Amino acid sequence: MATRFTLNGEDVSVEHVDPHITLLNWLRERGLTGTKEGCAEGECGACAVVLRRASDQAGSRYIPVNSCLMVMGQVEGQDVLTVEGIAKHGLHPVQDAMIRTGGSQCGYCTPGFVVSMFCEFYRPERASEGFDLESIAGNLCRCTGYRPIRDAGRSLPMVSADDPFQASLKEDAPALQGFSSGADSAHYVRPESLEEALRVFHEHPELVPLSGGTDLVVEMNQRHRRFPEGILGLEAVPELQQIAWHDDYLEIGAGVSLSRIEDECGARLPMLAELLPLFSSRLIRNRATLGGNLATASPIGDSPPVLLAMGAEIRLASVSGERVIAVDELFIGYRQTALRPGELIVSVRIPRPWPTLSRFYKVSKRHHDDISTVAAAFALVLDESGCITHARLAYGGVAATPVRAFAAEKALVGQVLGDKTHRKVETALSGAFTPMSDHRGSAQYRDAMVTSLWRKFYTESQESCP
Amino acid sequence: MKHVVGKAVSHESAQGHVTGDALYTDDLWPRYPRLLHAWPVQSPVACGQVLSIDVRDALALEGVVHVLTASDAVGEADTGAARRDEPLFPTEICYHGQALAWVLAETQDLAQRGAAMVKVETAAAEPILSLRDAETRDSFHTKQGKIAWGEVAVALKSAPHVQEGELFVGGQEHFYLETNAAIAFVDEGGSVHVHSSTQHPTETQEIVARVLGLPRSQVVVQSLRMGGAFGGKEVQANPYAAVAALGSHVTGRPVRVRLDRARDFQLTGKRHPFWGRYTIGFDDDGMVQAFDLRLISDGGWSLDLSAPVLHRALFHADNAYRIPNLCVVGRVAKTNRCSQTAFRGFGGPQGMAMIEDALDRVARCTGIPADQVRERNLYRTGDHTHYGQVLEDGDRIRTIWTSLKEKSSFETRREAIAAHNATHAHQKRGIAMTPVKFGISFTAKFYNQAGALVLIYRDGSIQLNHGGTEMGQGLHTKMRQVAAEALGVSLPRVRIMPTRTDKVPNTSATAASSGSDLNGAAIKNACDKLRSRLSQVAARMLGRDAAELIFEADRIRTEDGHGGTLSFAEVVDRAYLDRVQLSATGFYRTPRIHFDEEAGRGKPFHYFAYGAAVAEVQLDGFTGMYAIRRVDILHDVGESLSPLIDIGQIEGGFAQGLGWLTQEELFWSADGRLSTANASTYKLPTLGECPEEFHVHLLPKAATGDVIYGSKAVGEPPFMLAFSVREAIRDAVAAFATERPSAVPLGCPSTPEQVYWSIENIRSISRTAGYASRNDGVGIGARIGE
């Protein structure tokens, strides 16, 4: 089957696509070279293009994504706009602003900035909240020092009434439908329901499940990893796309993008609101999913410590049925999970009650768009007397998997959070893990951070409620 | 009165940048039918011998067309620019990932698969992977270089205070957004034509000609524009152009070489890591009496530009300070790492890092605030450097210092910071101010020349060619302004042409911040010739004297306004009919520069550029993480040719320096593999590092004599303004001490981890008495720094 999508307003149909070809490479080969490759791992944003996703209100929103991390199968049915398309009605206000402020020097990162800024330009909340700097925090520039780009963003006018791109936002986002495509033996298979996905996966266990692609496509680009049998694309499975608030728990579909979680859950769950802005960049969060972050089981993934601290459960499904496991049980070794053959992560459940006191900390070389050296998530449930009834302290970056500090938790439960308890926790945490040294930090530093972050938490909690 | 020069205009390609229409080398490949893609076969070890290369399996893969190996060599298969030490097909392995052969295939995917199928047999040897190792094993590229003034040993003996220190400063990846790329083909005239993302088309031409065994006249190199370069494409673009050219020669088809980011990281050189050991002698007032500095730089596996880079470090060991007795020696180590190369500042930053580190020791030891120690030691007009160059405008640094201190409310803020620190146990703020003096000119004297070719067509439109390349620094923008100013025309009339070796021959690299000084003067020279010819024509047309004529805004008129005006185009048309030549070449060589390397004396620089910066930071004592709260800069660009461009260079240079000093960290594993070989592991500054308050000002009334339109070079000097951030961090670290520490060692780059250890060190000293004898800056920085 051909891959069909809309590109800069025109229908495109591509035959015999190798499922490993990224949208970026396809665009460039076709001569649409405005979209650049800076890193091919989703860190620089030079390859950003625009997609349309459903709005939580009516119609749709423009979102920027890294085209280096989308394989062509994922593009099927999408409405794609590149930097060339943004200029098709003449210079766009964001392009004009970038010229005016001196926002481009070498120009190589510029198309990516234009794309990110274009999406922010149409964000309805911009009118009241102002230009969100987060919107361009996933784009790297090596020339300007960013000040003029920031000024360009802040100088943008409001969307004019006759803006040609505004009209498209009144339309619903494209509905993704099932399809399959491929060249030779390798295929991209996109099921339309969970039942179909599980059946296909059961029948073709050699297929590699792909959600946002922000990890797996990096493997393809950087290590030239290939999937000879093909890819199981999960983006059109509706069961994976739901967010549901139940009495006992919040259930987040494994395929929900982190941006959507940020938008729809952040306000009600402070720990998510702390975590998500520090989780890579908006460009990545527009594609990355909780299911993917869990399945890849990196010891330095940002979401596992938070999910561990909140006592999350993972709902798994296969053709033989469903099961629910604690997130603690998911990670069984370095990049290994308890997923059985044919099993997919359906959703993550975050149980109530929400913690009374919680914080997420991330230690990294830079504040944004970085990978943790150490991450820590602390969650305490206090009763009315201030006694700790539940305590969960979780870390990333200090062991082969994300881990909990059980001894420290034990020292907390049943106690009031005060200096005496604090010292006991410190003692329990001291030397609790044996982290390793690498380019992100030395073992000694990581070890020091285990207690130091707790100290920070304790100090800040004492400052906030004297 | 200038009309075009000095105006704030946008980058000449800005519209192309924002629409994606501006093309870069690798954007061109879809235009070449039958093009082949190249991919390197890389060494799996850092040191050893290649025993055999078996390409049979790769060639059996359908779509693999050829594997370039030593047997394909037609000329001299060595791309070394400084000396013949970079074999294209090495038998001796010098660093991990080194390219040993190149697979040519129908697609990049096939080339990559083919490269993985080439079998390389090697015999590994023990690599040299640190400066300490290199020193121990006496592994050096060069003999020791030295510049000295005064009697350092004597002065150190008599100085009231003496402090010793040691500092490792790390390397830095250029991370130009556009990685190295080249496309080569044999053109219709039989010449080899190479599109290369190179800062130095002439040298790329030389190397391609060498590798193909052709005269240079048979090779044309074009550098359309680069997506950043920063020195990284000054010589290191050459090997990839050579591979593309050789591949094209062998197969008869166009060949594309484009390094992906990881390959670019692994294969190409970076800023030199330096190891400095120093002794500084000073009095109770913090006046420096003597500075003795020993430097070793890590040149990597081949010489490349390491010798002049080291030399620039020697030249800048004084930064902006008058030091009556100064001795600096340095040597380039040979290690099994990528070959370190030019990078904005070119050794200057590494040299200056040492004196800035030492001056903080002076401040801590005497108890005089660091900004005052720096201020007291600043140069004055008439002082001379340790190589004997007199500072003709040295007072500028003091003018800048005083003015910036006031503009930035330095004193008031220092008090506010002290108040903040007194009430915050875990969040400390710091503020610091540092100066920059940077010498402008290539230290290789023959490079200080440039050529231009200006063509006026009969309709009055103009093509401008010069030897400089555009890498984002705005050179073409400035050069258009210079040409338009000199010819009295509007900017749109002047079209800048891609830089090509068949337009202007024997050019110098666009480097050493010299692009606009050299090429601007050459363009002005060509335009003056044309204007003089056109004046004669216009004078005849108006019946006036040529000397009375004004060229301005595409019109030619008399000074008194009487006697009518002519359009530029009609004068040009008349000139054509009158058989007046409408093209001209221009040439420039920097006057009055000289240096005697043996004696270490001379005037190597045409002039100095100055600047200063104030930075304020806040540290988190729990993690060592920090945020930059505010930065103020005052910088001397002479009479700015193009203010929007110059401010962009200052801010961008500062940001890059900030990255080098605080977060960019290269990490080699024990087997010599670079483990920070992409953006996920190597962290450049993002928007988050851009201070919310960021004030940049140009020094007013700063016209410079004998430089194009009174301007000064701007590319490199602002890089070193970022020392202010590192020193502000140090200031904040010191605030964690309960009593005044006699030194505040801080590793470099000052990552959160280094800052954390520095804070811990200060705390431990505060906890245990007897710190005065401690003097161990290295312990902290050594883990990664070396």
Interchain contact B13–A (C-beta under 8 A): yes
CA distances for B244 relative to A388, B209, B211, angstroms: 68, 12, 11
Confidence of residue B785 (pLDDT cuts 50, 70, 90): very low
pLDDT > 70? residue A183:
no
Q: Is the dihedral of CA B74, B75, B80, B83 positive or negative?
A: positive
Interchain contact B232–A (C-beta under 8 A): no
Tell me how far apart the alpha carbons of residues B574 and B571 are, in angstroms, rounded to a whole number: 5
Contact A142 B228 (CB under 8 A): yes
The two structure tokens encoding residue A397: 């970056």
Give the residue from chain B lying closest to A86, CA to CA.
Answer: B19
Number of neighbours of residue B160 by Cβ within 10 angstroms: 12
> Could you read off the pLDDT of B579-615 as tens digits, one per residue?
999 999 999 999 999 999 999 999 999 999 999 999 9
pLDDT > 90? residue A58:
no
Tell me how far apart the alpha carbons of residues B24 and B223 are, in angstroms, rounded to a whole number: 9
pLDDT > 90? residue A463:
no
> Could you read off the pLDDT of B323-337 as tens digits, one per residue?
999 999 999 999 999
What letter does residue A135 receive in the DSSP assignment? G
Q: What is the pLDDT of residue B560?
A: 82
Q: What is the average per-residue pLDDT within B723-728? A: 98
> Could you read off the pLDDT of B727-783 as tens digits, one per residue?
999 999 999 998 889 899 999 999 999 999 999 999 987 665 433 333 333 333 333
Q: What is the average per-residue pLDDT within A404-432? A: 96
Q: Which residues of A touch B474 (CB under 8 A)?
A: 105
Q: What is the pLDDT of residue B193?
A: 98
Q: Which residues of A touch B18 (CB under 8 A)?
A: 83, 87, 91, 94-95, 98-99, 103-104, 107, 110-111, 114
Nearest one of A163, A34, A26 to A104, comparing CA atoms: A34
Tell me how far apart the alpha carbons of residues A421 and B345 are, in angstroms, rounded to a whole number: 53
**Position B168, amino acid:** F
Contact B228 A37 (CB under 8 A): no
Contact B17 A147 (CB under 8 A): no
Q: What is the pLDDT of residue B475?
A: 98
Q: Which residues of B touch A361 (CB under 8 A)?
A: 623
Q: What is the pLDDT of residue B786?
A: 37
When the pLDDT of each residue in chain B is averaged and rounded to a whole number, the result is: 95
Burial of A78 (0-12, 13-18, 19+ CB in 10 A): buried
Q: What is the pLDDT of residue A1?
A: 79
* Contact in structure between B262 and B338 (CB atoms under 8 Å): no
Contact A371 B647 (CB under 8 A): no
Q: What is the pLDDT of residue B485?
A: 98
> Could you read off the pLDDT of B673-696 as tens digits, one per residue?
999 999 999 999 999 999 999 999
Q: What is the pLDDT of residue B580?
A: 98
> Could you read off the pLDDT of B496-538 as tens digits, one per residue?
999 999 999 999 999 999 999 999 999 999 999 999 999 999 9
Strand partners of residue B585? B453
Q: What is the pLDDT of residue B775?
A: 32
Q: What is the pLDDT of residue B783?
A: 37
Interchain contact B563–A (C-beta under 8 A): no
Q: Give the 3-state DSSP-derived string for B226-293, with helices as H, strands as E and coil as C.
A: CCCCCCCCCCCCHHHHHHHHHHHHHHCCCEEEECCHHHHHHHCCCECCEEEEEEEEECCCCCEEEEEE
> Could you read off the pLDDT of B110-147 as tens digits, one per residue?
999 999 999 999 999 999 999 999 999 999 999 999 99
Nearest-by-Cβ selection for A137 from B175, B627, B687: B687
Q: What is the pLDDT of residue B776?
A: 34
Phi, psi of B733, rounded to the nearest 5 degrees: -60, -45
When the pLDDT of each residue in chain A is averaged and rounded to a whole number, the result is: 95
Q: Is B12 a catalytic residue?
A: no
**Position B467, amino acid:** G
> Could you read off the pLDDT of B3-22 as tens digits, one per residue?
999 999 999 999 999 999 99
> Could you read off the pLDDT of B299-330 as tens digits, one per residue?
999 999 999 999 999 999 999 999 999 999 99
Tell me how far apart the alpha carbons of residues B626 and B429 are, in angstroms, rounded to a whole number: 9
Helix spans in A236-315 (H):
258-265, 270-278, 282-285, 290-295, 303-309
Interchain contact B113–A (C-beta under 8 A): yes
> Could you read off the pLDDT of B627-662 as tens digits, one per residue?
999 999 999 999 999 999 999 999 999 999 999 999
pLDDT > 50? residue B194:
yes
Interchain contact B695–A (C-beta under 8 A): no
> Could you read off the pLDDT of B229-267 as tens digits, one per residue?
999 999 999 999 999 999 999 999 999 999 999 999 999
Percent of chain B with pLDDT strictly greater than 70: 97
Q: Which one of A91, A95, A143, A459 would you mutate to disrupt binding with B, by most B Cβ within 10 Å of its Cβ?
A: A143
Distance of CA B451 to the CA centre of its chain: 22
Q: Which one of B13, B622, B629 would you mutate to disrupt binding with A, by most A Cβ within 10 Å of its Cβ?
A: B622
> Could you read off the pLDDT of A283-338 as tens digits, one per residue?
999 999 999 999 988 888 889 999 999 999 999 999 999 999 999 999 998 889 99
Number of neighbours of residue A177 by Cβ within 10 angstroms: 11
Interchain contact A143–B (C-beta under 8 A): yes
Nearest-by-Cβ selection for A142 from B260, B426, B684: B684
Q: What is the dihedral of CA A21, A25, A31, A37, to 10 degrees?
A: 170
Q: Which residues of B touch A452 (CB under 8 A)?
A: 622-623, 756
Tell me how far apart the alpha carbons of residues B480 and B490 are, in angstroms, rounded to a whole number: 10
Q: Which residues of A touch B262 (CB under 8 A)?
A: 222
Interchain contact B770–A (C-beta under 8 A): no
Is the pTM of the predicted complex or chain greater than 0.95?
A: yes
Q: Which residues of A touch B688 (CB under 8 A)?
A: 137, 366-369
Q: Which residues of B touch A140 (CB under 8 A)?
A: 175, 177, 679, 684, 686
DSSP B17-58: HHHT-S--GGGGGGGSTT-EEEEEEE-SSSSEEEEEEE-HHH
Interchain contact B752–A (C-beta under 8 A): yes
pLDDT > 60? residue B68:
yes
Q: How distant is the Cα of A324 from the closest Cα of chain B, in angstroms?
A: 33
Contact A142 B688 (CB under 8 A): no
Contact B17 A143 (CB under 8 A): no
**Any residues with CB less than 8 A from the CB of B417 and at least 6 apart, and which?**
B429, B430, B431, B616
Burial of B146 (0-12, 13-18, 19+ CB in 10 A): middle
